[in-house]
Amino acid sequence: MKSNEIIEKIIKERRNVRAFKNKTIPKKVISKIIEMGIWAPNHRMTEPWKFIIIQKNSEKRLSISKKIEKYIKENSSNNNSKTVQKIADKARAEFESCPVIMYVCSSAGKNEEETLENYSSTSIAIQNMALYSWAVGVGIGWSTGKPIKVKGLKKILEVPDSSIIAGCLYMGYIENKSVIIKKSRTNHLKKTIWK
């Protein structure tokens, strides 16, 4: 396969994944994935990213997962408390059992423009990681939901209040690529304007 064909294949095949094998990802592999992230373009070379790995069975993993449960209970619009508890238990179990949880934070710039540029670069870093990960059988589930909305998260992650948490990444070896929900995209020509 030519390199352009390999790139196209990985870009199109990559999916957001949250179903993982119960298998540890070696530190060396995680480290390589992060190394791919930092090759993202970044204006003024601000290199605005920070990768925080919350190890399985760690105090921090447990502490955040409890906060996820609390967040769901406090914010659910469902008034059946048993159903809400079930949803909270499921979210907590998923967070606790996930092989790797990685938070990706983006630092604030010296003004609004730079902060936005930083956030763009950090998002590209996540995509770089997702593409490389896919190629080595590791899936990434990018979340900007409950795991980043819990109270006091920046304190737990030890990042400045001014930083933006670009995502909580659920990571693990992909259970089965063939059962991952296929997703399509609107034809790019419909999103393109030639003037």
Ligand X SMILES: Cc1cc2nc3c(=O)[nH]c(=O)nc-3n(C[C@H](O)[C@H](O)[C@H](O)COP(=O)(O)O)c2cc1C
Instruction: Print the binding letters for residues 8-47 with ligand X: x by CB under 6 A, - otherwise.
Output: -------xx-------------------------------
Q: How far apart are CA 54 and CA 77, in angstroms?
A: 29
Contact mark string toward ligand X, 134..173, x via CB under 6 A: --------xxxx---------------------x------
Helices (H), 47-80: 59-75
Give CA–CA dist 54/132, Å, rounded. 20
Residue 157 vs 168, nearer CB to ligand X: 168
Shortest distance, CB of residue 104 to ligand X, whole angstroms? 10
Return d(Cα 126, Cα 14) in angstroms, integer. Answer: 13
Decide if residue 103 touches ligand X (CB under 6 A): no
Nearer to ligand X, 16 or 76 (CB): 16
Q: Cβ of 12: how many Cβ atoms within 10 Å? A: 11
Longest dimension (CA), the chain: 56
Binding region for ligand X (CB under 6 A):
15-16, 142-145, 167, 183
